[in-house]
């Protein structure tokens, strides 16, 4: 596992810079090899392309504006969404590529573990960097302006980060609903009242038969990595349960020895024991960054998510600097900035553990004695491999890509984003978010049939 501390510098500001006109053509040239070799995708099937086609047509004729909200269960989803809107959708509809595409939102922290090539691609694609967990009014204004003025959509992941489980819809951020509502209000204030809609896009992964046949060997590697005897004689579900238990024991021992973390009460389940470690990790981050832990009403996965994003925002403040600040630093100040960025990097290893662990739950495999779908077994195995990576100090860049998969992209019914008469802004945002969630759940139900 390679550990590369962050280097401080200027946050690339691509808010006001659109995509390079030549980048979609380059993406079209490289996409087949990139999808096959890097993303490990064998094929992609699209359902509901005509729904998006109608939204593009209505927006281009000045009748409406829209956003595309895509599920984010894995690391390939943003790449797929870009490829779909810019390249595959025009082909599905038999239309010119110039009529499609859109503006994408990406986490400002992604270049820190993505490397120079990723930074270049994000700039060339014209992505808007967003600092999750902090309020950035210029960026919000850029996005609202883009939604209101550009007939092509803003595309973003309303789950806010990778959720690691394709089979369940996780909590959605209010931000996607608020962006749509603000754009609607801006259009109305400018004397151009137009409906603004959010189009849900589901991403479903189906592992190939060959990938399924590789699961036993992958589990043997994971068992050896955890110090377990080979469990080839056991069913995959039993092997995963053993690995779960072993990893939690390892992390409990490490946190007790290194940080003095008291063990969970006797009889606690794996999820409760893991949550205890995640809480300890977050508290350590919050203490360092001078942030108070929220009250008990923000507990559960949603509370962990808000806290971990806030911790990430505090880390980014120690890595990224304004151009004026950075250019005005003396050599000694830049040396201290490098030290501070390195401190943030090593503290972020706790955040990386929470980032994954907040979503992991043995219950995702189903009740004891029930049959777990093969694709879900592979998904859980990859997540446990990733958990081992995070314990060693890794991040999502080191996630396993051992299994090839087929993809189904499903477009759902558009969700109207406008305030009703007498409705407050928060109530409107929550209603829109609830409608969007139901849209995603309907797409998930369709995939299980």
159-171: string of b/e by CB count within 10 Å (b at 16+)? Answer: bbbbbbbbeebbb
Provide the sign of the torsion angle of the four alpha carbons 146, 123, 37, 391, taken in this order.
negative
CA distances from 371 to 118, 141, 165, 263, 424 (A): 40, 48, 17, 32, 46
Beta bridge partner(s), residue 43: 406
CA atoms of 372 and 366, how far apart (whole Å):
6
| CB contact at 8 A, 329 and 337 | yes
Quote the pTM value: 0.91
Residue 67: helix, strand or coil by DSSP? strand
Q: Which pLDDT belongs to residue 296?
A: 41
CA atoms of 132 and 209, how far apart (whole Å):
38
Q: Which pLDDT belongs to residue 392?
A: 93
E-strand stretches of 22-176: 41-47, 65-70, 103-107, 128-130, 154-156
Q: Which pLDDT belongs to residue 295?
A: 45
In the chain, what are the domains?
9-208+404-447 (3.40.1130.10), 210-398 (no CATH)
Q: What is the pLDDT along the chain (449 residues), one digit of tens a residue?
A: 667 789 898 876 655 567 888 999 999 999 999 999 999 999 999 999 999 999 999 999 999 999 999 999 998 999 999 999 999 999 999 999 988 999 999 887 887 777 778 888 888 888 888 877 666 788 889 999 999 999 999 999 999 889 998 888 999 999 999 999 999 999 999 999 999 999 999 999 999 999 999 999 999 999 999 999 999 999 999 999 999 999 999 999 999 999 998 889 999 999 999 999 999 999 989 999 987 765 444 455 558 888 888 888 899 889 999 888 999 999 999 999 999 999 999 999 999 999 999 999 999 998 877 889 999 999 999 999 999 999 999 988 888 999 999 999 999 999 999 999 899 999 999 999 999 999 999 998 877 66
């Amino acid at each position: 596992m390679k550990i590369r501390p962050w280097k401080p510098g200027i946050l690339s500001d691509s808010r006001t810079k659109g995509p390079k006109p030549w980048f979609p053509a380059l993406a079209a040239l490289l996409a087949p090899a990139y999808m096959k070799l890097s993303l490990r995708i064998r094929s992609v099937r699209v359902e509901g392309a005509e729904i998006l086609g109608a939204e593009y047509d209505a927006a281009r004729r000045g009748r409406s504006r829209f956003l595309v909200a895509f599920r984010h269960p894995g690391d390939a989803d943003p790449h797929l969404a870009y490829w779909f809107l810019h390249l595959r959708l025009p082909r599905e509809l038999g239309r010119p590529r110039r009529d499609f595409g859109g503006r994408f939102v990406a986490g400002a922290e992604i270049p820190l573990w993505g490397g120079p090539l990723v930074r270049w691609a994000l700039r060339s694609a014209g992505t808007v960097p967003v600092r999750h967990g902090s309020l950035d009014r210029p960026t919000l204004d850029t996005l609202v302006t883009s939604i209101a003025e550009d007939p092509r959509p803003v595309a973003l992941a309303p789950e806010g980060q990778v959720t690691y489980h394709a089979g369940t819809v996780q909590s959605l951020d209010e931000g996607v609903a608020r962006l749509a509502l603000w754009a609607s209000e801006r259009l109305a204030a400018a004397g151009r009242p137009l409906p603004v809609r959010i189009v849900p896009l589901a991403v479903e992964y189906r592992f190939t038969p060959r990938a399924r046949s590789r699961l036993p060997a992958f589990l043997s590697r994971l068992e050896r990595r955890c110090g377990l005897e080979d469990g080839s004689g056991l069913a995959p579900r039993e092997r995963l349960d053993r690995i779960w238990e072993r990893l939690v024991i390892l992390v409990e021992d490490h946190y007790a020895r290194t940080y003095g973390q008291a063990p969970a009460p006797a009889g606690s389940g794996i999820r409760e024991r893991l949550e205890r470690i995640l809480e300890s990790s977050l508290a350590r981050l919050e203490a360092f960054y001078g942030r108070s832990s929220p009250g008990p009403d923000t507990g559960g996965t949603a509370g962990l998510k808000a806290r971990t994003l806030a911790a990430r925002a505090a880390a980014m403040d120690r890595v990224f600097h304004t151009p004026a600040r950075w250019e005005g630093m003396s050599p000694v100040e830049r040396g201290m900035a490098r030290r501070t960025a390195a401190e943030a990097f090593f503290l972020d290893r706790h955040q990386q553990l929470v980032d994954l662990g907040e979503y992991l739950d043995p219950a995702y495999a189903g009740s004891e004695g029930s049959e777990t779908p093969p694709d879900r077994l592979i998904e859980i195995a990859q997540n446990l491999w990733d958990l081992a990576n995070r314990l060693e100090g890794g991040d999502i860049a080191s996630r396993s890509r051992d299994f090839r998969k087929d993809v189904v992209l499903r477009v759902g019914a558009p969700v109207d984003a406008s305030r009703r008469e007498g409705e407050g802004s928060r109530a409107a945002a929550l209603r829109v978010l609830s409608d969007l969630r139901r849209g995603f759940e309907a797409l998930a139900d369709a995939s299980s049939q």
